[in-house]
Every structure is written in C-alpha cells, then in structure tokens.
Amino acid sequence: MRISCIGGGPAGLYFALLMKQQNPAHEITVFERNKPGDTFGWGVVFSDQTLTAMREADAKTAGQILDAFNHWDDIEVHINGRTMRSGGHGFCGIGRMKLLNILQARCVELGVDLRYESDVQDDEGLDADLIIAADGLNSRVRQKYAATYQPDIDLRQCRFVWLGTAKLFEAFTFDFQQTEWGWFQAHAYRFDDTTSTFIVEAPQAVWEAAGIEAMSKEEGIAFCERLFAKVLDGHKLISNASHLRGSAQWIRFPRVVCKNWVHHNGIAPVVLMGDAAHTAHFSIGSGTKLALEDAIALAWDIGDAQDDLDVALPRYVASRSIEVLRIQNAARNSTEWFENVARHAQLAPEQFAYSLLTRSQRISHENLRLRDAAYVARFEAWLAGGQAVPPMFTPFKLRGLTLKNRVVVSPMAQYSCVDGLPGDYHLMHLGARAAGGAGLVFAEMTCPSADARITPGCPGLYSDEQGAAWTRIVDFVHRNSSAKIAMQLGHAGAKGSTRRGWEGIDQPLGDGLDWPLISASPQQYLAGVSQTSRAMTRADMDRVRADFCAATERAAQAGFDWLELHCAHGYLLSSFVSPLTNQRSDEYGGTLENRLRYPLEVFKATRALWPADKPMSVRISAHDWVIGGTTPEDAVLIAAAFKAAGADLIDVSSGQVSKLEKPTYGRMWQTPFSENIRNRVGIATIAVGAISEADHVNSIIAAGRADLCAVARPHLANPAWTLSEAARIGYQGPAGLDWPLQYLSGKPQLEKEFERQRAQAQPAKKEEGVV
C-alpha cells in the first residue's frame, strides 16, 4: 500500500512508523513543511494509561519515550497565598522536540521516507492509496474539503501563551493571581532536566484590560514574569515563537469538531488525524494523546482488515469518534472552568483546589481517593468541620430545616391518581424512598386545579379530600423515617391533557376527553398533534394564582417540610419565562424582566403563605437547548430574580421546553448549570441529570457545584439507593445515614457483600488526562 502523510507532527510520524512496522512492504512518505529541528510549544504531557497503549502498539518506541520522560505524581494549587497539594496522579512530561526526534529516528530506522521542507498544500498530485491529513490545527486539507468534513470551530474565551522556564517544577503546578483587571493563571510542569513548560492564561476581557494586546512580545513576557514572580523564584520566562511579533503569541484556543473524518477525492481516501480532526484543550493534556491514539487505532484497523480500507476506515471513524467525543466533553468542562476562575475563586482555597482537580467531571471523589487517600481524608474532614465524612452524608440547613444528608429523591411522575387523589400507591412509593436513606423526598409535580394536570393520573391539591390524602402520606414519612418530604406545585399549561406516560407520552387524550389548555401564548407542544392552548387573560392569571395560593395553604396544612414552585420544562409558568413560548406583546412579554413578571407574582403570593421557617425552592430550565431560547446566562438572571423575591434554593434542570431541543448529554450533564447559578448568584442549588452513583454526589457536593443532588431513575430501581450506595463505598455511618430499625439486620450482610466485591475487583484505572 502507498501511503502519504501530510504533516510530520506526532500523528503523522507515529502512524507512519506503525504502518511500516506492521508491513515493511508499505511505501510510506511523510511530507513536513518545516525543518527537522523546528517545533513550537515546549513540553507535552502523557498519563500512565497513554504509555500503556503505546507499549502495546510499539514497545521499542514507547521505551525510548519512557527513558526521556520526567515523571511526577503531585499536583500543587496556589491561590491567595495558600498551597494545596495532592498526589498519585501519575504523569510524564517530555519535550515536544525530543518526542518528535524519537519518532523521526524510529521512522528512518523502519524505512519511512521523511521529506522535510516539503510544503504540500493539500492532496493535489499525491499518488497514493491512502492519504493522511495530519496537517494540524489550521489544516488546509480540512479547509479544502470542508463540505465533506463539516468542521465546527469554536474559539474559546481565554487568551494563552505557551512559554518555557528554567525553573524546574517538581509538581504539576497551577498558580492563580488576582490583578486589578481580573484573574490570570499559570499551568506549569517540568518536562526534562533543564526546562519546564509555563502556560499563562486569562479571559479575553481580562487580557484586553491589562493592555497586553498593545505590548511587544518582550513586554508581554516581562508582564508575566512580574505577575508570577513568586512561583518562578526569579527565573525568566522564554518564548520559542521567534516567528511571531507583538502579542501574536497570545492565542485563543480553537475547539475543533468534525462531523466526518474521511473524504474520497476520486483516487484515494483522505483521512483526518490529530488536531486536523479534533482538538482537546491543553488543560487536560490530551491533544498529543488523541493524536497518537488516532494513529494506533487506524493502524490496527487497517491491519485487522488486511489492508481493506473500505472495511478499516468506517471502523476507525466509528470507534475513534466516540472516544474523542468523550475526551472533548471533558475538555469542554475543563476549558469552561478556567474561563470562569473568578467564579470559583469565591470558594475557600480547599474547595477551590478540589473543584480544579475534578473540573472535567472525569476525575471523581473515589478516583481521587485511589490516587491520594490521605488528601481526600483531610478534605472530607475540612468540609465536614470535624471527622471525615463522605460529602453526600454531611447535613444541610436551610431556614429552620436541616436535612440529614445531601441526597434528594427527584419528583417523578407516577400517573397513578384517580381524580387527582393520591392513594395507597403513593403511600408505598414515597414511604419506601423515605425509608431508603435519602435526606429529602419530593412528591411528583402536583397540580393546583383539575385543568392544571398533565394527565388524568396526575395528583392534585385542589380539594380538602386531596389535602387529607397528602396529610396521611406526610405523617407516614415523618413517623417512619428521618427523611423530610417536599411538595412540588406546578401547572401543565400547554403540555396538559395528555395520556399517562406508558400510554403515549405527550400524546393528547382524544375521544372527547381533552380539557382546554392555557399558556403564555397560543402554543402546540407537538406540532400537528397536540391540542393548541390559548393565551392567558388577566382573569386567567388571577384565577391560577389563587389556585396556587390555595394549594400552598393545603400543603402547609398537610405538614410538608419544603415547597417548590415548578417554573421549568415548558409547563405553564415556564411558558412565560422562555422566549420560545412567550410571544406576548403586553407587560408580560418581550424582555426577560417582563417574561418573569407573572411567575414572580405567583411565587411571591405563595411564599407569603408558606411558613416562614420552611424553605421554598424554584425549579427552572437553565437552558432550552434551542437557538433563540433561554440560555445559561439568562438562567443566572432568572435565579437572581427569584432569589430577590425570597427563594431559598434553585432546582436547576434544563430543556423540555421545545421538541426542537438538541441537548448535549453525558454523566452529570446539567451540573455545570447548577454551579454557574450557585457561585454567581450566591444561592443554594440542586443539581439534577444523570447523577447515578455516590461518587457523582460526593464529587458535586465537595466541589461546590451544588448543595443537594436529585437522583431520579436509580431511585425507581432501588428505593434504598442511598443506603445501598453508602455500603458500596464502604461508609457505615452514623452521620447522615439512618437505617430503619426493621431493616437493620440486613445492613452487615450488604456491607460485607460490597466489601467482598471491592476486594476482588481490580484496582480502578486512573482517568486519562491531566486532571
């Protein structure tokens, strides 16, 4: 097979040598526009897991790289005169030039044709069976065939400069400096016997305010030396970007995502690899890792397919695109963390450092414990204010209410009422979950009138009979558990009058059973299917507000510990908030302030009736996931408005406002919205969405991303989820953990079983990347 590689960086070189090693008969040429000794950047970082993959692919090359590595385990975080250190992270640093030299020499040894100072613009004129476009971040091949590759390039919000220094850092070091213009941060690590990488970064607005844009290159470096003088210990900073002038060496990181990676030019497939296909922010140290793993994967797939590219290339794209997406999701979280240091800097230094270590959401609480158990124990003791306790089992106090732990059973529709009346099923359902160890149990969304229901099976609180039924359930929970119980009040609006979930979710009732619907503006939730709602009049608003007030009084009489107003997911109050569903031209439409007017009216009226010593929260959709809809920035303003009106906590969800939504799913995928609101508005939050393990809850609470975590589907599968997860992580209590006396005899057996599983399990692998 004849292979041409455009670009002699890590991806192109490594793929070339692997293919030549795999079959010496392959004719492989690498075209590199620079000289052999030219490179930009300083050191690159690998984790232990990357090295394992390289050893399996080519032990000789991996051995040479390993011999040149500088290895360290510790991470240091410097902020506000404090230093926090944790260990066990397992990283290796190597100079980019040294890495390239090793790969170049190995290619020559195997017989790869390396052609330097060959500025091959694209695939034009290349006589090959396979063309690899490894021509980097600014790939000209990707640009030429953009219609096929469909690249999405997002310039991030921070400016950064890649420098070096003779100061030898013994730990991977993050140094944060607050200035009159804002926060600057440095990422520093040693990569050989004489030099460390030193990356300086700041948000674009801070960078501009500091005047760096107008500085010469030398002035910019001197600015950084003064700013980070303490951590540099008098050492100078060095630039190797001799081809750049002024502030051009300060760049914004471009996140590159390509929908397709293969283009057929009529002669040979042209395959993107490395930064040409995707990028991952340097803060998780995965750019070179991804490039090398691309090379490993494609070489393996070609060999496995016996050089049949029609078989190998689809396999390559299918497998690598999933892994790259996983890394890029983590990189996005990490990037956004560094773009918002000012928000996180409000945390205590201990929590700030923990938040940094877990910022990608790939490194969890238990993964940190695996790396450095002593660090986690110290942090847990600090967070608990005494003896070390897993964060999820620390108490939480709001107004006059104290929850024993941070686990919340989400409000989950059960569609099991008759005429809005909760019965024995609800007593069993909520009672079992209250006995299962959670600190707070939510009843499902309950409606203030019959026409406010989502389905005929949804509960209400619009009659004294319903109030009495709820009182029975609340009393049962209080008598038989130490959990608290919350009522969530909501009006379905345009999403009402539908079938029960298992009969066809969001489908209209039909057969003459539908009831009239109201919302902020006329709306049909499912185009061509749903009933069309009519816009609320002022009389409607007064009636609905009165219904909410009456339901609030009944909830108080029933003895609920907590009240939540549902202003999310496209239901009636949400339909006022979102510009997608509010097209009004009166004082209740237009600006966000106007759109919030009616939901705030309802909130203030109900808060005034709810007991002053009991908390009241608001659930919001922090992102509509539709262009033109509510954004996370809007969510901050929405939360601030409810806080000013007296809300104690914001229950932060997203979506379900429009069927046109395109969410980005993943584990704990909505947690960043919670953190954004909590640490910018200064209000307690509940995080929701794909939180399914104690590890998730511990990480979220410990990092200050939320005050409580709502767990939904896992509680449907296991009512005693909290008790079970405590046993799974080896926590036996007593803080925040309360087994029912009747079930206590089952506790030792469950704990022993999980202890046995932990002992038999292989040690968990550390996640890939810096942190």
Just list the catalytic residues. Answer: 571
**Cα Rg for the chain, rounded, in angstroms?**
29
Residue 613 CB-density burial (10 A; 0-12 exposed, 13-18 middle, 19+ buried): exposed
**Angle, CA of 432, 435 and 436, to the nearest 5°:** 85
Residue 17 parent element (H or E): helix 10-22
Question: Distance of CA 287 to CAs 79, 167, 174, 281, Å?
Answer: 27, 24, 19, 7
Place of tokens 């002593």: 374
Contacts of 13 (CB under 8 A, 6+ apart): 5, 30, 100, 103, 104, 107
Q: In what order do the strands lie in the sheet with 113-116?
A: 113-116, 27-32, 2-6, 130-133, 269-272, 262-264
**Cis ω before 734 (30° cut-off from 0):** yes
* Beta-bridge partners for 684: 649
Regarding beta strands 130-133 and 684-687, do their DSSP bridges make them parallel or antiparallel, or are they unpaired?
Answer: unpaired
For residues 186 and 199, the answer to whether their CB atoms sit within 8 Å is yes
Residue 706 is which amino acid?
A
- Ranges assigned E (strand) in 43-150: 43-47, 70-72, 75-79, 82-86, 91-95, 113-116, 130-133
Closest CA to 771 of 391, 375, 331: 331
Closest CA to 157 of 110, 192, 204, 117: 204
For residues 586 and 538, the answer to whether their CB atoms sit within 8 Å is no
Question: Distance of CA 696 to CAs 627, 688, 692, 711, Å?
Answer: 30, 11, 7, 10
Residue 22 CB-density burial (10 A; 0-12 exposed, 13-18 middle, 19+ buried): middle
Residue 163 parent element (H or E): strand 151-165
Whole-number Å distance between alpha carbons of 472 and 559: 10
Whole-number Å distance between alpha carbons of 145 and 271: 11
Whole-number Å distance between alpha carbons of 334 and 343: 14
- By 3-state DSSP, what share of the chain in percent is helix, strand and coil, each rounded to 5? 40, 20, 40
* Beta-bridge partners for 489: 446, 565
Regarding beta strands 237-238 and 151-165, do their DSSP bridges make them parallel or antiparallel, or are they unpaired?
Answer: antiparallel
